[in-house]
Structure 1
Amino acid sequence: MIGLDGVSAQALSDTIGAIYDCALDPQLWPDTCLKIADLCESTGGGICVHDLRHARNDQLFVFGYQPQFLETLGSQYAQSPMAAADIVASVGDVNILSTDRPALLESRFYQEVLAPFGLTDMIWFPALRTGGRMASMHASRKDKAPHYQQFEIGLFKLLSPHVCRALTISDALDIRTLRSEMLEKTLDVLAAGVFLTDRGGRVVYMNETAARQAKIGTSIRILNNRLDPVDSAARAALSVAIAQATSHDDEGATNPRSLAIPAVSGAGYIATLLPVQRGQRRDIVAPFAASVAIFMQDPIEAPMMPGEAFARLHKLTGAELRVLMALAQGLGAKDAADMLGISEPTIRSHLQHMFSKTNTLRQADLLRLLQSSTPAVRAPQAL
């Protein structure tokens, strides 16, 4: 392969190879975007997804930008020169903002979006159109860096067909966006707190319950973006458990592990670790770059199984279920009898029938069975 002036053939070959590696593993895109940006001496870059139906602008695999810039760009993208150019552009067509530099400097987009964050120019090309969304790859320069010239345009033109093919092969944006949205909705209704961490124990995602547990902070906290049990022994045990769960040398690493995460004043959570970096598990959580899923459950607050389902499971009668639910509220036999308008001997008779049907011997065992039949989901609650 013949390189462009200033870029070796080996560097171009390595970059194109990295692009096609992304077709098989979308999580390689951040490093590949950085590699492309380095070739054209850019300070920022990444992939942008434009939802044409909902006027949304999402940044994926981006680097070198302040969060405020990304928010500003997203809110004003529809009115930007980039959006206008992409309407008529074909997939793979390369554009730069400074094609008409005087007009750019006078534009509201430059003055309100680029200039406040020191950005001087952007180069990009539409890389994929699928359904109501379009994706583009971009790079940018800031501060006093010169505007993009023919060299950078030529480099992007050389690389754009490979990027477009790689994205089409894997449809990486659909995998990331759709799986992330579906996974988030699923995890957010779980009764247990779910923390997804990388190999180093850094939290890359947590559901609503987990965020609430960390905010309360009596058993588990987030410190330097890592899970930090309040109890020192639990902190050390969790660190070891994460390391073991992500170890390729550990034959038992595919199995879940459980450990106690005590609270300052007693009780606390039971943490169960499940490796997610293997096989289909890895594909499902790849959007979060997670290696371990940690389920944090408070056994005291575990919601009870819906009575109707429990009754059908154990073939309880309606009368027996009413007695069971009354006792589950903490009522004694006499109070339950008074509430239901029946006698204490009838309560005891129903209990004997339920013991037989559930293979339990005592009221405590029966209530424990009901309590342990815990549903995985809960109604969403605001933080």
Structure 2
Amino acid sequence: MKPDEAFSDLIGRIYDCALDTSLWSEVLGEITQAIGGKMADMIVSHPLERTQRIAALYNWPDELVALAQANAHINPGVPLGLTAPLCEPLCSTRDLDIKAFHSSRYWTSCYAGRGLYDYIVVPIQRTVTSVATWGVIGDEAKGPYGDEDIELARLLSPHIKRSVDISGLLGLERVEAGTLRAALEALASAALIIGPNGTILFCNQAAEAELAHARVFREHDHRLIPVTSEGRRFMASLASAPDRARQKGLDANLTDATGRTLHVTWVALEQVGEEIGSPVLILLREPETALETPLSAAVSLYHLTTGETQVLGQVLHGRTLAETAEILGVARSTVKTHLDAVYRKTQTNRQAELVSRIMNLASPLRR
């Protein structure tokens, strides 16, 4: 992939999906080709309900879809998705014991014998009890994904997340929008579209309220005017950013005079192709509170290893040592070793006590 032209085009295609979610299958195909994979997916997993919802697929045979759905509850990778940072790729050959993963009941039930090998999965949305991911599966001929493949997935992920955030594809509420303006109007976050000279071309209701307070930016003669030194530096960065950065988009945290922090995201919209010319989309919102699942809280608090995290994820489902060993594709003694380490780190002695302690790590007010 040429770093400027092809990458820029692919970013534009991803944002096209914010306007028309039916394009995701085709765009996942383009992403798959760029990474060198064979199949791609966008899935929402609900581990406690033992279900998953497929939002979009590329090149998945129907029978494989049915198998993956039927066996979603034994996917050993889901606990990692509940604990990994958003937009940070997980790679089977790097973050899992690949031999054990290929021996797991989930892999042997769904993927074995199909010439598939490595799997990049990226969490892009999460609640206390669910995780949404996109992923690309590679074949045996490709072998393990390389550094460039994983870095490309890392670069694409923030844009994929923004696109699905705008469209509501993975959430409980979906924004039905025929235009970018209509989609942005429905956002709770402040959203503006400005021209090259700072002229405000679009401003949703939340942005109007933000500008009225004039804490970081204000409106004057239909132009966006910064009122803080950080705001002025931000506006200068818009004017001086190279084309590649404008297409890729940038993030910044700006602090107003009251000490409040705003997370500002901007990206050029040349690829959208609407009548608004060559504008820049700016999103203003307060930084998201770090959302921790019980499992992710345990990983952070008790410094659990990958193996311990996988075992704990199965224990939280009430599975026995033998069942966990079969699901993870490892020996029962290995599971016991990991579980003993979890008991030691959490200072618990019984499974019921362990489950109670872990589930109490996340406040019910954040569900």
* TM-score, normalised with respect to structure 2: 0.43
Larger Rg: 1
* TM-score, normalised with respect to structure 1: 0.42
